[in-house]
Amino acid sequence: MNRGFKISSLLLLLALFAREAPAVEKERWLQKTGFGLMFHYEAFRNHTSKSYNRTVDSFDVPGFARAVAGTRCGHVIFVIGQHWGKYCAPNSAYEKLLGVKNGVWTSRRDLILEIGRELEKRGIRLVIYMTARAPMRHYEIIKAMGDTLPSINGKPAGPKVNPLSHPRKVKGFLRSENQAPNPVFLKNWGDVCGEWSKRYGKLVSGWWFDGYKMEMKEAYEGLKKEKHNIDTWVAAVRSGNPAAELAFNAGAHPILSLCTNGKLCPHQTYTSGENHSFNQKTKKGKGKLLTPTNFPAPEGVVWHLLLPVSKGWGAGEESRFDLATLRDRVDHINAEGGAVTFDVPITGDGVIPAAVLRVLKDLGKDIDKLTDGARSF
């Protein structure tokens, strides 16, 4: 047998073995961060353009990054904007759709870009929080974005009706997010999200989309025949970083937020995880612990839990959990291959309350044990 034949035979055997060997699932970065922090930056304040720019300009990015790094967390979810329609970064697509200049609905300062650069220096991943639908507090913005208008018995509700109303208050009322999106909106929202995605590139490791309700999930297949659909919107979201992790949130119920009954969106790569405690809420009080074993995520989707560390989303001055509880729960979830993010209050100038920061820094002292893949506490 000649040498060439031996080498060819060996290569053939190696190829056959590689094809038949079971694939080993690669651990994703989100499963190796220990824990993360989320910041609802100015999400619940109705700013004027002047007060918003003044507040964003006051944000101490290096100081914020140092404080975050001091906790030894591995990722940050930062709210770029929410339902009031203000965003802490310029966006020409959004501004054009609204017919305004930069500085009116978007900040002049690109806070996200600065935060991303400072976190990158410290090895911390950045995830952007964004809504899946147009800002719901402003009828005219919903209209300008081309999103499905709030309706009453199938007809547009009009600007005089609170777009955040409820059927219990207004008979037959439906919010935008409780109706299917349309191709015009998905094209526009793709332009808005895509502009940020291209600008930030790999500085942004993921996106967390709020308000992706069941109506949006159910509209997915029907929209596929349109030129602009959920697939094209997601492609725009990932245009700057094709490997970006994506979460879609339908509400604070374990079955939905942990996707126990399946993905909300075919492009989902980790669960939104929105909940208010470490336990399932039941009529009798506390239910089962929220863990990957008790509420499994779909195959290929990283199990992720998100909850406020203080008294509410973006609110509070102290941790409502003691250090032992935080260590035990984070350790348990990480050992089962999951991930945890704590929503943390923050001031307009980027300061985390001292008592909250102290507990998180103490938690971070055990980061090696929390990320060793086994129960340590």
Q: Which CATH number characterizes residue 131's domain?
A: 3.20.20.80
| Angle CA 322–325–330, to nearest 5 | 125
Which has the closest alpha carbon to 56: 297, 279, 346? 346
Is 169 contained in some domain?
no
Is 5 contained in some domain?
no
Is 266 contained in some domain?
yes
What is d(CA 137, CA 82) in angstroms, rounded to the nearest whole number?
9
* pLDDT of the residue at 16: 44
Strands 155-156, 151-152: pairing is antiparallel
Is 7 contained in some domain?
no
* pLDDT of the residue at 13: 44
Domain that holds residue 197: 27-146+185-370
Contact of 363 with 323, CB cutoff 8 Å: yes
Token pair for 186: 């998905």
- What three-state secondary structure class fits 245? strand
* pLDDT of the residue at 21: 39
Is 167 contained in some domain?
no
* pLDDT of the residue at 38: 98
- What is the domain count for the chain? 1
Is 162 contained in some domain?
no
- What three-state secondary structure class fits 274? strand
Is 289 contained in some domain?
yes
Tokens 């999103």 label which residue?
A: 147
Contact of 336 with 290, CB cutoff 8 Å: no
Residue pLDDT tens, the chain, 377 long? 454 544 454 444 444 444 443 343 578 999 999 999 999 999 999 999 999 999 999 999 999 999 999 999 999 999 999 999 999 999 999 999 999 999 999 999 999 999 999 999 999 999 999 999 999 999 999 999 999 999 999 999 999 999 999 888 999 999 999 999 999 999 999 999 999 999 999 999 999 999 999 999 999 999 999 999 999 999 999 999 999 999 999 998 889 999 998 999 999 999 999 999 999 988 887 889 999 999 999 999 999 999 999 999 999 999 999 999 999 999 999 999 999 999 999 999 999 999 999 999 999 999 999 999 999 99
Taking the CA of residue 191 as centre, how many other CA atoms within 13 Å lie in the half-sphere pointing to its CB? 16
* pLDDT of the residue at 25: 53
- What three-state secondary structure class fits 75? strand
Token pair for 334: 């990480």
Strand partners, 85: none
Is 4 contained in some domain?
no
